[in-house]
Structure formats: structure tokens, C-alpha cells
Structure 1
Amino acid sequence: MATTAVKITQKGQVTIPKEVRDKLNSTSVYFEVKGDVVMVRPVRDAAASLHDYARNVKPSASVKQMKDKAWEAAVREKTGKKSS
């Protein structure tokens, strides 16, 4: 993409060129300032971010397994013995 100059309004607003908006593919952005450089990064949709996260997470124990472990721990705590 070619460099494009845009005006900053008195209210501090700028129009992001359509080509840039299309590449960002987001309706919200982060601004990161490093020295005299401003980076514009898309804010990912929360649902999409959670979906990406969930896709990479290995499933943990089932609810039944967790209940069984909790029950065994409670029995051990009360009786000092393992439940059968």
C-alpha cells in the first residue's frame, strides 16, 4: 500500500483510508505510539478471540470426573479413607 496523508480535524479525528480499513477487517482499533510512530492495530472481536483460544485448548476432565474427584477428596477429609 502506498503512503497516504490525511488531515487531523480540530476534534482530533482522522479518516482511515478504505484500503486500510479493509485490511484491518475490524470496526475498532488500538493506537500504539512509539516515539514519533503511531501503529494502528485491529481490536479482535471478543467472540472470535474466545473461539481461537478454545480451539487451541485441550479439554480438561469431564464434569463427572471433577465431581468424582471432589467427592473422593471430601470423603478422605472426613474419614481419612478413600471412597469405594
Structure 2
Amino acid sequence: MLTAVKITSKGQITIPKRIRDILDTDIVEFEVKDNLVVLKPVRSVGGSLSKYSVGRKTFSEIRDIAWDAAVNDKFKK
């Protein structure tokens, strides 16, 4: 599958839905070899950090919890 996307002035791209569905993750890594860029799904960021794990939450769940805590701290009355 070949798909062209535009890079914004901020260096961002939108990954088309059909490709996001194939990746089945919201975390990706870029690998650059010579002049070729490869986008790879990251299935788990906890592998190398598993000894620090306190539960079986996904990265998205942990990120959302951290975001909520940061917002609550900033706007707490």
C-alpha cells in the first residue's frame, strides 16, 4: 500500500485511518535507514520498564490518568 500525506509547517502528518487500523496502536517509532523512513508500531512500552509496573494499564490509559492529574493540579481551587 502506498499513500502520500502532506507534512505540515509544524512537521506533523496525519496517518490515514486504514493505516492506523493496520498499526493497531497509538504509539509508533520511526526508523531511518539511508534515505528510507520506516514507521513501526510499538505494541508495549512497558517491556523494558516492567519491573516498575504496578498494573496492567495500557499506555493510553496511563497517559490519560497523568493528563487528568496534571489538569487537576493546575486548576485545583
Structures share fold, TM-score greater than 0.5: yes
What letter corresponds to residue 14 of structure 2 in structure 1?
Answer: T
Give the Å deviation of 1:4.
1.1
The gaps in structure 1 that reach 5 residues or longer are 51-84
Give the Å deviation of 1:45.
2.4
Give the Å deviation of 1:46.
4.2
Alignment of 1:24-35 (within 5 A): 24-35=23-34
The gaps in structure 2 that reach 5 residues or longer are 51-77
Q: Which runs of 4+ in 1 moved over 6 A?
A: none
1:36 alignment partner in structure 2? 35
Max radius of gyration: which structure? 1
Give TM-score, length-normalised by structure 1. 0.51
Give the Å deviation of 1:44.
1.0
Task: State how many pairs are aligned.
Answer: 49
User: Comparing both chains, which one has the higher relative contact order based on Cα–Cα distances under 8 Å and sequence gaps of 6 or more?
Assistant: 2
Q: Determine what percentage of the aligned residue pairs are the same residue.
A: 54
